[in-house]
Structure 1
Amino acid sequence: MELTVNLGENSYPIYIENGILPHAGEYISKFYQGKKIILISDDNVFPLYGETVLNSLQNYECHTLVLPHGEPTKSFESLPKIYSAMLDAKISRSDLVIALGGGVIGDLAGFAASSFLRGVKLVQIPTSLLAQVDSSVGGKVAVDLPQGKNLVGAFFHPKMVLIDPDVLNTLPTRYINDGMGEVIKYGCIKDATLFNTLKNHISFEDLKPELASIIARCVDIKRIVVEHDQFDTGERMLLNFGHTLAHTIEQYYHYERESHGEAVAIGMYQISKIAEEKGLTKDGCSDEIKQLLQTYGLPFSCNLPIEDLTGAIKLDKKNLNNHLNVVLLHTIGDSYVYPTDVTFFDNAGIM
């Protein structure tokens, strides 16, 4: 399947197909006639898929950089290593960066590509479910600061996204569940039919035969939203459902306890529960979300008092001049941006 993100001169194709990874070079050659490529990956992904991708790129001069896996890698401390590797490889603005990995590598390599020589061409090859359905599409790249997640970043669109659902077969169960947090998000904010499809299965294994089409549906929702709001000033904010709490939970535990998808799961349920109590979301939505989270092995609580999280919420990117845009649901499949401030979370109790 091929989708196109239509953004004028920043437009790019997204290819979604089982078994596409060994043919990466064929797809890259459709738009890239240069000679040099640097492939950036991590020490979990590269041993599994690095050679497969490199074997498809034999017509190019290829360089590699393998970084430690995990969220702590997505920091400023990693950038000098990447820039040094790019300098050693003599990467120029006419060359290409490939990000092969999950959301951390996609964001980090993407930010390095956006800033090195003021911009080097980028291809995203996401290897986690979360990256395939969400972070590889839309052109957001970033690194974390100690004070919060993704606080330094850029909008930098790839030239292509290549998605092979087969690579998910090697993912540990926890990281499949992690990606399902973002899949459920798309059903919540934009597609009640997708939400109900997920409800009609009893586990990820039961869902697998439909996985490629579900990934494609999530990507298509994001494509449409990004086309309408490239720079995250309007409708694109809806993609942050659950994230205001999620980022603070991740930060509170120094990115060492809840994964991103797990934190998003908690955020979606807890914020919907608060909104129901305020009459801002239809009664019963939070229970529906909770049941679906349990089906796919995701948490709905982090057992922290809200007071432990509000300090980080004040630093969230969506908190501007003490005005906080919180994404809520009218009902499943129908979301909206609710302007408020951090008092929205007053008396919320234990998250």
Structure 2
Amino acid sequence: MQAKRISLEKCYPIDIGRSVAGTCVADYLDREAGSRNALIITDREVAGYYLKDFSAALSEKVQEVPHIIVDGNPSSKTMEALKPVFEQISDRDCGYVIALGGGGVIDIATFAASTFAAGVRSVLVPTTLLSMMESVMASHAALHFQSQKDIIRVPIDIDYSVIDVSFLQTLPSRYFSSGLAQIIQYGLIDNTALLHALSASKDTATLIEESLRSGNKIRRTQPELMNFGRDIADAIECHFRFLKYTPGEALALALLAMCHSPALHKLYERLGLPVMLTEVGKETLLKRIAKTLETRGDTVDLVRIGPEKKPLNQKVSADIALRYYDSVLSEICNKAGAS
């Protein structure tokens, strides 16, 4: 399958295709990098599946590109992960980093690239559905600190991405389902046709392209709506220190709480997404959400479903926001669960 350029307004070049990653990145570096060195940043699992073939494709157009292995687990997105990356960038005088992996790898790579010296250019090769949906559109790279999610942030400029759907063949079903949560969020905010497409098992590449168009539109016109479900999702992830639920599963649960309906519940069951929280009670999550709201002052932004059944952003008091979260969390919290 030949790569297709996805033309998005006010966005850097993104290509999509099947079994095209190595060729596309090689062509890009051959055209843009000149004599500047590049470094592949990946994790052990992705390297085992794809690094040999990816590197071989690069070698047809550019000089040998070294690599570094990092921990791609979301819980490992910390400042400590940056040191070996900085050392490699410095020792090899790299002008480009190529992030080959999921969201954790991409955050580490782009954070390092954006903060090292005058900045290093970033090329993204996402290997999970969630990173194809979210990381390629990110304006910031973010790291965790202790149990605080994405608390350390820097703005980033991505130069090029290639979405290769063949990577999804080796993605465990749980993590594929996790990525569908981002499509559901785009669908609830902007384009309900995406939800129907999920029900109809539409072609993956087409679904990704249509989802990216919706995501791009939301970020350009109503970026505040991207916070829809985030307070609850972050509370879930942080409570379990990023170990029990994936980012997509946490977001899916938050969206179900805020948009609960039999149709959405049925879609979740079909897609393999969780519909009920376990091992934590509502009061525990509310305490964590309340602590987050305290940092925003007396008036906070609350994104919730409005009268027209679409998410809208409202300025409300922190107390009103907390009462709202109290009411919707009942939809996903087992009354007999831990508190």
Please tell me the TM-score bracket, short chain as reference: 0.7 to 0.9
Of 333, 343, 349, 2:323 maps to 343
Q: CA deviation at 1:220?
A: 1.2
Normalised to the residue count of structure 2, the TM-score between the two structures is: 0.87
Q: Does 1:33 align with 2:17?
A: no
**CA–CA distance in 2 between the matches of 1:317 and 1:131?**
27
CA contact (8 A) 1:148 1:316 kept: no
Gaps of 5+ in 1: 202-206, 229-234, 274-285
Counterpart residue number, 2:75? 72
The AA in structure 2 aligned to 1:36 is N
How far is the alpha carbon of 1:319 from its aligned partner?
5.8
Q: Which structure has the higher relative contact order (CA within 8 Å, separation 6+)?
A: 1
Question: Is 2:277 aligned against 1:302?
Answer: yes
Q: Which residue of 1 aligns with 2:297?
A: 321
Shift of 1:316: 4.3
- DSSP-derived class of the 1:62 partner: coil
- Contact 1:37 1:60 (8 Å CA) reproduced: no
Q: Is the 8 A contact 1:75 1:143 kept in 2?
A: yes
Question: Does 2:241 align with 1:254?
Answer: yes
Deviation at 1:27, TM superposition (A): 3.1
**Alpha-carbon offset, residue 317 of structure 1:** 8.6
Going from structure 1 to structure 2, the CA distance change for 1:345 and 1:102 (only over 3 Å counts) comes to same
Q: Corresponding residue for 1:218?
A: 211
Letter in 2 for 1:82: V
Q: Bigger CA drift: 306-315 or 50-59?
A: 306-315
CA shift at 1:163, angstroms? 0.2
Partner Cα distance (2:30, 2:93) in 1: 21
Q: Any idea what the Cα deviations from partners look like across 1:153-177, whole Å, max 9, x if unmatched? A: 1221210111011110011111111
Tell me if structure 1 keeps the 8 A contact 2:197–2:207: no
CA distance in 2, matches of 1:61, 1:331: 57
Whole-angstrom distance in 1 between the partners of 2:323 and 2:197 = 36
- Between the aligned partners of 1:74 and 1:82, the Cα distance in structure 2 is 13
Is residue 238 from structure 1 mapped to residue 225 from structure 2 by the alignment?
A: yes
Superposition deviation, residue 5 in structure 1: 4.4
Who is 1:184 aligned against?
Answer: 184
Q: Look up the match of 2:263.
A: 288
Question: Is this contact kept in 2: 1:102–1:128, CA < 8 A?
Answer: yes
Instruction: Write the distance in 1 (CA, Å) between the matches of 2:162 and 2:294.
Output: 30
Question: Unaligned 5+ residue runs, structure 2?
Answer: 334-339
**Partner-residue secondary structure (3-state), 2:243:** coil
The count of corresponding residues between Structure 1 and Structure 2 is 320
* Further displaced range: 219-228 or 126-135: 219-228
Match of 1:276? none
Which letter maps to 2:182?
E
Pair 1:323–1:39, CA change in 2 (3 A): farther
Q: 1:314 to 1:120 in 2, by over 3 A?
A: farther
User: What is the match of residue 194 of structure 1?
Assistant: 194
Structural RMSD (CA): 2.2
